[in-house]
């Protein structure tokens, strides 16, 4: 059984990804969010819902024990959250992290100037990249709602291609990364419509 901790479980992308995880019979999910009443448990035999704040590092560490993968899709104080996640993972002995950021954090989108609104995403990615974790940072384009699963990847330092990606495409990729412990290790990858 693969144990996956989902941080920010009530977010749009995380909610979209939960059924993709549950399509794998060998996955147990721990859904971590600030207000647990916001989510209904889709499968009590394979899903645990926990209320907590990512910034509460001691509590987060206790929840991380026994997890194989941490998938973080957060908003707010991203740099502080990334620091808490890295520290909790180190203390809990968990290595694999999938962290959602944003396109444009390296000024890699052709024709677009870097804007200060991206600072929290860039700063949190820097915290993850400086860690010794087995991380993958995803820098998706703007989310679109369709059933398409088709995407292309760009590496850090390469120009970002396109501006959009479907939620289903991202969910598909996130699950593949969580199920494949060596896929795209120590990389920051852009994800856009293929």
Give the CA count within 13 Å in the CB-facing half-sphere of 105.
Answer: 23
CA dihedral sign, ordered 12, 102, 4, 70: negative
Q: Residue 126 carries which DSSP code?
A: H
Task: Please give the Cα distance from 38 to 122 (Å, whole number).
Answer: 29
Report the chain's mean pLDDT, rounded to a whole number.
96
- The whole-number average pLDDT for the span 127-133 is 97
The pLDDT score that the predictor gives to residue 111 is 83
Distance in angstroms (rounded) separating the CA atoms of residues 8 and 174: 14
Task: Determine the structural domain holding residue 95 and report its residue range.
Answer: 2-193
What is the spatial distance between Cα 170 and Cα 54, in angstroms, rounded to a whole number? 22
Ramachandran bin of 111, using left for φ above 0, alpha for ψ from -120 to 50, beta for the remaining angles: left
CATH number, domain containing residue 52: 3.40.50.720
Q: What is the pTM of this model?
A: 0.96
What is the number of other CB atoms lying within 10 angstroms of the CB of residue 56? 13
Question: 81-127 pLDDT, tens per residue?
Answer: 999 999 999 999 999 999 999 999 999 998 888 778 899 999 999 99
- Number of structural domains the chain divides into: 1
């Amino acid at each position: 059984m693969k144990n996956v901790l989902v941080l920010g479980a009530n977010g749009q992308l995380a909610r979209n990804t939960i059924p993709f995880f549950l399509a794998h019979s060998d996955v147990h999910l721990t859904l971590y969010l600030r207000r647990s009443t916001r989510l209904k448990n889709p499968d009590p035999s394979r899903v645990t819902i926990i209320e907590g704040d990512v910034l509460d590092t001691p509590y987060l560490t206790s929840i991380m024990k026994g997890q194989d993968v941490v998938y973080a899709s957060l908003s707010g104080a991203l740099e502080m959250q990334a620091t808490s996640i890295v520290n909790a993972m180190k203390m809990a002995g968990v290595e694999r992290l999938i962290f959602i950021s944003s396109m444009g954090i390296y000024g890699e989108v052709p024709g677009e100037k870097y804007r200060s609104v991206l600072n929290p995403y860039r700063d949190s990615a820097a915290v993850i990249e400086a860690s010794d974790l087995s991380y993958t940072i995803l820098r998706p384009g703007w989310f679109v709602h369709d059933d398409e699963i088709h995407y292309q990847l760009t590496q850090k330092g390469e120009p970002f291609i396109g501006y959009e990606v479907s939620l289903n495409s991202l969910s598909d990729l996130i699950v593949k990364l969580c199920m494949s412990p060596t896929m795209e290790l120590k990389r920051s990858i852009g994800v856009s419509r293929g």
